Structure 1
Amino acid sequence: MARPRAFDEKQVLDAVRDQFWDAGYAATSLEDLMRVSGLGKGSLYAAFGDKRQLFLRALRSYTDESHGRLREALTEAPRALDALRALLEAPVDDAMGEGVRRGCLMANSTSELGNADPEVLDHAHRTYETSTALIGDCVARAQREGDVSAEADPTELARALLAAQQGLVFMSRTGMDAATLAATARSLAAQLLPDRSGD
């Protein structure tokens, strides 16, 4: 009879995710993974497979959690337009926090591995399509609420908003100050989500 695992799988995945997030895939060694997980090589590989499989598990966990937070933020806001504008402002809100240094793990991983690992590239594609669908649903709600033009294509606008948000995340990592980021976010919101109160 197999012995039950004496560790918390989510806690281990969170720890190795943070290691990959901080250092990247190539710069993370087996010794790093053993150190942050508190597991020996045998236990680590028996539970999760090799380094690549562990990385893919951690990446999927990250994107699942990210989509959960995005879905909650977009659906729980009283008005959809406020949620869409908050999406653009999120990188500004994080401008002095941990998120600036780290950026987006999915974007970082795609930049590092997308050309060499088809599975990472496929996961990135599916991740951004899911994000686009969630944002598109929010755009459609904003249209029903009269805050976004009915002529706008929800999917096209969602992709534009996602691209703008990811661009702001990248710009924040260059050291751009919060005031400039905020002004840029307001400019993007004015162009992508214009005020229709005067219509």
Structure 2
Amino acid sequence: MSDAPKSRRRLITLPEMVAVLGLVVGALTLGLNWSDKRQAAQERAAASAAAGAAKVRLNLDADLARGGSEIRLSDAQHELIDTAIDFPSALGIERQAPATARIDKDWFAAAVLKATDGGADDREGRLPLLVTTRYMVGDSPREGRGIVEIVWRTHGRLVGGRSLTIEAVRVREQKGDRKRIDALWSAEMRRQSARA
């Protein structure tokens, strides 16, 4: 007779197997729910941050007014407090700082006519301007910049040379600097020279 202990194997019963599977399914469900809630919270936080940034950012808009002799600047979310308009350096126009957010045709018409003199009387082109403005977000002042592009057209007259009209205006870029408008104006002048 052998003194070796008899090993006895026990099979898992069906109810025990169902109980183990129930625990595994429950753990997986809990993990997935937690992951979904964490992802939803991150998405809400990102959307909130984007909405907050949109409220702070300047969204410059430009429209023709006074029969095309003036451009009005605005932002749907902010009141523009101070505005300064810079022209391309080649035109030799001083910075304009009007009391209201506007650009007057008289500020640049003579300089554009002079810069485009010596070719066809009837021309069309684009004039980039740098708009720097201060605006309020809550109680704190902010500063923003944008490049406004004026589409102009010159017409020959029987007496008195040429005249300039503003055909359209648009905000080209929501940011910008003096170098950028100088580069855009140089490209426009090369285009005008090629047409002449």
State whether TM-score is above 0.5. Answer: no
Q: Which has the higher strand share?
A: 2
Q: Which has the higher helix share?
A: 1
The structure that has the greater radius of gyration is: 2
TM-score (norm 2): 0.27
Whose RCO is larger (CA < 8 A, sep 6+)? 1
